[in-house]
């Protein structure tokens, strides 16, 4: 059974993977203004993953 820390760990991992995917899409797939948007959303995913990672031992 998964406890709260395990769920936060998996959420952090999934958000890091999604952030890398979005930054990769912005860098390599879209060369116009949409690429900047994908990159910004990817950085936002990293920020959320950082928050989840810092909450892991406190919840």
Domain boundaries, the chain: 4-55
What tens digit of pLDDT does each residue of 2-17 get? 888 889 899 999 999 9
What tens digit of pLDDT does each residue of 28-53 get? 999 889 999 999 999 999 999 999 88
Q: In angstroms, rounded to a whole number, what is the distance separating the alpha carbons of residues 43 and 9?
A: 18
- Model pLDDT, residue 58: 76
Task: Give me the half-sphere count of Cα atoms (radius 13 Å) on the Cβ side of residue 5.
Answer: 5
pTM: 0.84
Q: In angstroms, rounded to a whole number, what is the distance separating the alpha carbons of residues 49 and 9?
A: 9
Residue 57: C-alpha distances to residues 3, 10, 14, 53, 54 (Å): 11, 14, 18, 8, 7
């Amino acid at each position: 059974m998964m406890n709260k820390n395990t769920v936060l760990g998996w959420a952090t991992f999934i958000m890091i993977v999604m952030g890398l995917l979005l930054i990769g899409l912005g860098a390599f797939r879209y060369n116009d203004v949409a690429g900047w948007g994908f990159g910004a959303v990817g950085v936002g995913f990293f920020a959320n993953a950082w928050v989840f990672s810092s909450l892991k031992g406190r919840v």
